[in-house]
Amino acid sequence: MVNEKKKALRKKIQALRDGVSTEERDALSARVADNLWSLPEFESTRSILFFISFRSEVNTVPMIERSIAGGKITCLPCTDMKSRGMIASQVLDLGKDLVLGNYDIMEPRQEAIRPVAAERIDIVLMPGVAFDEGGGRLGYGGGYYDRFLEKCRPDCRLIALAFELQLVDEVPRAEHDRLIHTIVTERRIIACPVSAIGPDQF
């Protein structure tokens, strides 16, 4: 039942997001970036796992470039379809380090993979289709992030980047689904309830 609800919600929100023009999407993404950089924990953090924007997602490329230029340990995911696993790889130059990878998403080329242990990541920027203010996240169904987060420290912060149109009243959730600490959109920063809970309590 939960899976069917997730499937229907994915279809609905992806259609809405795909309907936004490239120009408007870039403008909204710039506002998301401004809000992200206003977060004290983001500005002061040392190591971040970004996601590279795909199709109609928030455009993360300028954010990644700014993070690299700012001297942060800036990582992107590398996926392994056989094990359905994911590692974080430090990226130094988007133009030179990336190649078209699994699911037609850009990721570090084999020669440019610089693994960073999950335990060293301070913030994971989470992609997704839909989110709710309780911290619920609807991903794409692959489970790659779920498995990666199992290796992260309990105090690793999970921050979602999304457009307002991706926010819903309630995301269908299974027991194992991890909650997001913070959602950053073009209009606001949402501190989810889990943010007030100690890292060893969720």
- 202 domain residue, yes or no: no
Residue 13 located in a structural domain: yes
Alpha carbons 112 and 99: distance in angstroms, whole number = 10
Number of domains forming the structure of the chain: 1
Residue 44 inside a domain? The answer is: yes
198 within some domain: no
Over the stretch 101-125, which tens digit does the pLDDT of each residue have?
Answer: 877 788 899 999 999 999 999 999 9
pLDDT in tens, 19-42: 999 999 999 999 999 999 999 999
The CATH number of the domain holding residue 91 is: 3.40.50.10420
Is residue 166 within 8 Å of residue 131, measured between CB atoms?
yes
d(CA 175, CA 66): 36
Determine, yes or no, domain membership for 201: no
Q: From residue 15, give the alpha-carbon distance in Å to each of 23, 183, 194.
A: 17, 21, 29
Flag whether 200 is in a domain: no
- Residues 24 and 149: beta-carbon distance below 8 Å: no
* Domain enclosing residue 12, as ranges: 2-192
| Predicted local distance difference test score (pLDDT) of residue 126 | 96
pLDDT tens readout for residues 49-79: 999 998 899 999 999 999 999 999 999 999 8
36 falls within a domain: yes
Residue 199 counted as domain residue: no
